[in-house]
Amino acid sequence: MAVDYIYPDYEIIRDYDKCITCRVCERQCANEAHEYLPQENKMVCDNAKCVNCHRCVSLCPTRALKIVKSDHTFKENANWSGKSIKEVYKQAGSGGVLLSSMGNPENYPVYFDKILLNASQVTNPSIDPLREPMETRVFLGSKPTKIERDDKGRIIDNLSPNITLSMPIMFSAMSYGSISYNAHESLARAAQELGILYNTGEGGLHEDFYQYGKNTIVQVASGRFGVHKDYLNSGAAIEIKMGQGAKPGIGGHLPGTKIVGDVSKTRMIPEGFDAISPAPHHDIYSIEDLRQLVFSLKEATNYTKPVIVKIAAVHNVSAIASGIARSGADIIAIDGFRGGTGAAPTRIRDNVGIPIELALASVDKRLRDEGIRDNVSIVVGGSIRSSADIVKAVALGADCVYIGTSALLALGCHLCRSCQTGKCNWGIATQREDLVKRLNPNIGYKRLVNLLTAWQHEIKEMMGGMGINSIESLKGNRLMLRGVGLTEKELEILGIKYAGE
């Protein structure tokens, strides 16, 4: 039907004076947006196929290409945006649920951008990280409740299993399947070199990557894909995924087209079958069930691994966190509503969950009020975009952050939000061999190392400015934060003062 034709959002602009018809753009575009017309020796394009991933733009040798936002428009309407209208057409045509990828892009407040940091002036000195030690090492895990000594009075190490990180950053869960082998290899090698951890997501662990076990978090999610005893014992920690910020309340779905070869083997499911993770864990219908799974996993690994419970930031997140902190879990990971995904129903992604800044502030406060903050460490993600976000998150009370999207950007992702198509031109969110090989793990891992090395420097600079020379003195140090453009209620929840106060 004619109404189903929707004019593309983006247009490919080619400067024909510069184009040398080398056809790189054509070869690079898995969406087949570019086409060569041999009779006319001319490149043309189909804007409707373009996802605005910039692959062709980046590789065009003569810089002849750019992508611009289309100025095609509906009649202006303050209520019915073009986006809403088009989505109705799409669904009227298909009868299907709208799918999206990556984090919620809608115009909700970003609280990190309304929080400012402190620095020392006069009454105490700032510290120069180039001249003085500046420490970012963190431990994740529960703290001991009492000191035990041997008969000589020496302190006995009674710490429960902990994770040691060189900086308060980890790569968040992205499964092998949702992202490529080369992307996983880049993350694993970067984690090893940086002294941090990456996370398998719910896709099992490829046998090639067992060697990075000390830097791996193995995830157990509702589908239990790829979970077996060796898998659980191969990592530094185990994460139970209860929820994800991009799609709280629902499970996962990796289409059968991606369940090929090693992905199928690693997930321990037949090739071509859809991998559908149920919305809940069907052995966890309440908090006491979670406790049983926590201890089952601890039993399976002989109490040598800390257990992380990952939840999406939802309305009563602090009460849930309080339950988890008493469940035997060592670490709580909270994923905010901006968190990324390889595929999620658009309505869920864009409308469910709460901002991570508010969730973090309220969980940290709640656990302190109940005197159980030391039972667990708190890891937050969704979305951490820079070192400044990390400093603010730690000052609000986080022990560590998870980064997903930032890591993918380092690997070349251009946030075109089309992961669900499986045709990622950057070799990240795809299993197509010709596309996967575009991501060179030797370069990819180095770029991840570069990014976090740079962020670590910046964290040290900001800490030094505040006169703090070890990250633990920043944790929960909310006096180092001030709000701008926030209401009394927002300030109250964040537990911070207004700028000028």
Contacts with another protein by CB under 8 A lie at: 120, 123-125, 127, 132-133, 135, 137, 139, 143-144, 146-147, 154-155, 157, 159, 162, 368, 371, 373-374, 466-470, 472-480
Q: Under a CB-based contact definition with an 8 Å cutoff, are residues 331 and 307 in contact?
A: yes
Query: Which CB sits closer to another protein, 127 or 173?
Result: 127
Tell which residue, 414, 437, 416, 415, has the closest CA to residue 427.
437
Q: Under a CB-based contact definition with an 8 Å cutoff, are residues 161 and 330 in contact?
A: yes
Query: Which CB sits closer to another protein, 185 or 364?
Result: 364
Residue 318 CB, nearest approach to another protein (Å): 15
Residue 217 CB neighbour total at 10 angstroms:
28
Q: CA-CA distance, 23 to 36, in Å (whole number)?
A: 7
Query: Which CB sits closer to another protein, 254 or 480?
Result: 480
Which one-letter DSSP state was computed for residue 149?
B
Residue 206 CB, nearest approach to another protein (Å): 32
Length of the chain: 501
Query: Which CB sits closer to another protein, 368 or 385?
Result: 368
Residue 233 CB, nearest approach to another protein (Å): 23
Residue 164 CB, nearest approach to another protein (Å): 8
Contacts of 17 (CB under 8 A, 6+ apart): 64
Residue 476 CB, nearest approach to another protein (Å): 5
Q: Under a CB-based contact definition with an 8 Å cutoff, are residues 76 and 56 in contact?
A: no
Query: Which CB sits closer to another protein, 13 or 159?
Result: 159
463-485 CB burial, b ≥16 within 10 A, e <16: bbbbbbbebbebbbbbebbbbee
Sign of CA dihedral 229, 257, 283, 321: positive
Q: In which element (H, E) is residue 483 found?
A: strand 481-483
Residue 167 CB, nearest approach to another protein (Å): 12
Query: Which CB sits closer to another protein, 91 or 158?
Result: 158
Query: Which CB sits closer to another protein, 123 or 304?
Result: 123
At residue 148, what are phi and psi to the nearest 5 degrees?
A: -120, 145
- Residue type at 390? I
Residue 495 CB, nearest approach to another protein (Å): 9
